[in-house]
Structure 1
Protein backbone atom coordinates (compact mmCIF):
# COMPACT_ATOMS: atom_id res chain seq x y z
CA UNK A 1 0.00 0.00 0.00
CA UNK A 2 1.43 3.37 -0.93
CA UNK A 3 2.07 5.94 1.77
CA UNK A 4 -0.57 8.41 0.52
CA UNK A 5 -3.28 5.75 0.78
CA UNK A 6 -2.54 4.62 4.34
CA UNK A 7 -5.01 7.05 5.92
CA UNK A 8 -7.55 7.11 3.08
CA UNK A 9 -10.75 5.46 4.39
CA UNK A 10 -12.07 5.09 0.82
CA UNK A 11 -9.03 3.18 -0.46
CA UNK A 12 -10.13 -0.10 -2.04
CA UNK A 13 -13.85 0.73 -1.95
CA UNK A 14 -15.51 0.94 -5.35
CA UNK A 15 -17.93 3.66 -6.33
CA UNK A 16 -20.52 0.97 -7.00
CA UNK A 17 -20.20 -0.34 -3.44
CA UNK A 18 -20.51 3.21 -2.07
CA UNK A 19 -23.70 3.91 -4.04
CA UNK A 20 -25.25 0.55 -3.14
CA UNK A 21 -24.51 0.98 0.57
CA UNK A 22 -25.82 4.55 0.57
CA UNK A 23 -28.98 3.37 -1.18
CA UNK A 24 -29.45 0.54 1.32
CA UNK A 25 -28.94 2.91 4.25
CA UNK A 26 -30.82 6.02 3.07
CA UNK A 27 -33.01 4.99 0.11
CA UNK A 28 -33.36 7.16 -3.00
CA UNK A 29 -35.55 9.82 -1.36
CA UNK A 30 -33.10 10.53 1.43
CA UNK A 31 -30.14 10.38 -0.93
CA UNK A 32 -31.81 13.02 -3.10
CA UNK A 33 -32.47 15.07 0.03
CA UNK A 34 -28.83 14.94 1.17
CA UNK A 35 -27.36 15.37 -2.33
CA UNK A 36 -29.66 17.21 -4.70
CA UNK A 37 -28.75 15.65 -8.05
CA UNK A 38 -31.09 14.24 -10.68
CA UNK A 39 -29.56 10.77 -10.69
CA UNK A 40 -30.95 10.31 -7.15
CA UNK A 41 -34.29 12.06 -7.61
CA UNK A 42 -35.42 11.42 -11.20
CA UNK A 43 -35.93 7.72 -12.02
CA UNK A 44 -32.92 6.63 -9.94
CA UNK A 45 -31.06 3.39 -10.53
CA UNK A 46 -27.65 2.20 -9.43
CA UNK A 47 -26.54 2.01 -13.07
CA UNK A 48 -27.64 5.54 -14.02
CA UNK A 49 -26.18 6.98 -10.82
CA UNK A 50 -22.82 5.32 -11.44
CA UNK A 51 -22.76 6.58 -15.03
CA UNK A 52 -23.33 10.17 -13.86
CA UNK A 53 -20.99 10.02 -10.87
CA UNK A 54 -18.11 8.59 -12.89
CA UNK A 55 -18.30 11.60 -15.22
CA UNK A 56 -18.98 14.28 -12.59
CA UNK A 57 -16.18 14.81 -10.11
CA UNK A 58 -17.97 17.34 -7.85
CA UNK A 59 -20.97 15.03 -7.42
CA UNK A 60 -18.78 12.00 -6.73
CA UNK A 61 -16.96 13.95 -4.01
CA UNK A 62 -20.29 14.77 -2.35
CA UNK A 63 -21.29 11.11 -2.48
CA UNK A 64 -17.96 10.06 -0.96
CA UNK A 65 -18.36 12.64 1.81
CA UNK A 66 -21.87 11.38 2.61
CA UNK A 67 -20.57 7.81 2.62
CA UNK A 68 -17.91 8.71 5.19
CA UNK A 69 -20.57 10.44 7.31
CA UNK A 70 -22.76 7.32 7.07
CA UNK A 71 -19.86 5.14 8.26
CA UNK A 72 -19.37 7.44 11.26
CA UNK A 73 -23.13 7.32 12.08
CA UNK A 74 -23.07 3.53 11.94
CA UNK A 75 -20.14 3.39 14.38
CA UNK A 76 -22.37 5.14 16.85
Structure 2
Protein backbone atom coordinates (compact mmCIF):
# COMPACT_ATOMS: atom_id res chain seq x y z
CA UNK A 1 0.00 0.00 0.00
CA UNK A 2 1.43 3.35 -1.05
CA UNK A 3 1.28 6.40 1.22
CA UNK A 4 -1.04 9.17 0.12
CA UNK A 5 0.87 12.10 -1.30
CA UNK A 6 0.05 15.78 -0.72
CA UNK A 7 -1.56 16.51 -4.13
CA UNK A 8 -3.90 13.53 -3.72
CA UNK A 9 -5.14 14.86 -0.38
CA UNK A 10 -5.73 18.30 -1.90
CA UNK A 11 -7.60 16.83 -4.84
CA UNK A 12 -9.83 14.79 -2.53
CA UNK A 13 -10.79 17.94 -0.58
CA UNK A 14 -11.32 20.10 -3.67
CA UNK A 15 -15.00 19.16 -4.26
CA UNK A 16 -15.86 19.86 -0.62
CA UNK A 17 -14.05 23.19 -0.67
CA UNK A 18 -15.72 24.16 -3.94
CA UNK A 19 -19.17 23.34 -2.59
CA UNK A 20 -18.45 25.28 0.60
CA UNK A 21 -17.45 28.37 -1.40
CA UNK A 22 -20.59 28.13 -3.53
CA UNK A 23 -22.78 27.95 -0.42
CA UNK A 24 -20.83 30.87 1.07
CA UNK A 25 -21.52 32.97 -2.03
CA UNK A 26 -25.25 32.29 -1.78
CA UNK A 27 -25.37 32.90 1.97
CA UNK A 28 -23.92 36.43 1.86
CA UNK A 29 -27.11 38.08 0.53
CA UNK A 30 -29.36 35.70 2.48
CA UNK A 31 -27.72 36.57 5.81
CA UNK A 32 -28.06 40.29 5.02
CA UNK A 33 -31.73 39.85 4.21
CA UNK A 34 -32.25 37.95 7.47
CA UNK A 35 -30.60 40.77 9.43
CA UNK A 36 -27.60 38.73 10.60
CA UNK A 37 -24.06 40.00 10.67
CA UNK A 38 -21.29 38.99 8.30
CA UNK A 39 -19.86 36.81 11.11
CA UNK A 40 -22.62 34.26 10.52
CA UNK A 41 -21.60 34.10 6.89
CA UNK A 42 -17.95 33.61 7.83
CA UNK A 43 -18.91 30.71 10.11
CA UNK A 44 -20.14 28.87 7.02
CA UNK A 45 -16.51 28.41 5.98
CA UNK A 46 -15.89 26.12 8.99
CA UNK A 47 -16.38 22.61 7.56
CA UNK A 48 -18.95 20.91 9.83
CA UNK A 49 -20.31 23.95 11.66
CA UNK A 50 -21.07 25.71 8.39
CA UNK A 51 -23.90 23.39 7.39
CA UNK A 52 -25.67 23.91 10.73
CA UNK A 53 -25.23 27.68 10.50
CA UNK A 54 -26.61 27.58 6.95
CA UNK A 55 -29.81 25.84 8.06
CA UNK A 56 -30.14 28.17 11.04
CA UNK A 57 -29.85 31.34 8.94
CA UNK A 58 -32.17 30.02 6.23
CA UNK A 59 -34.85 29.17 8.82
CA UNK A 60 -34.95 32.72 10.23
CA UNK A 61 -37.67 35.17 9.26
CA UNK A 62 -36.64 38.02 6.96
CA UNK A 63 -35.79 41.30 8.68
CA UNK A 64 -38.24 43.20 6.48
CA UNK A 65 -41.10 40.97 7.61
CA UNK A 66 -40.17 41.49 11.25
CA UNK A 67 -40.03 45.27 10.75
CA UNK A 68 -43.45 45.32 9.09
CA UNK A 69 -44.89 43.18 11.89
CA UNK A 70 -43.46 45.55 14.51
CA UNK A 71 -44.98 48.52 12.66
CA UNK A 72 -48.39 46.82 12.61
CA UNK A 73 -48.15 46.05 16.32
CA UNK A 74 -47.28 49.71 16.95
CA UNK A 75 -50.40 50.84 15.08
CA UNK A 76 -52.64 48.47 17.00
CA UNK A 77 -51.47 49.68 20.41
TM-score range, shorter chain: 0.3 to 0.5
TM-score by length of 2: 0.33
Larger Rg: 2
TM-score by length of 1: 0.33
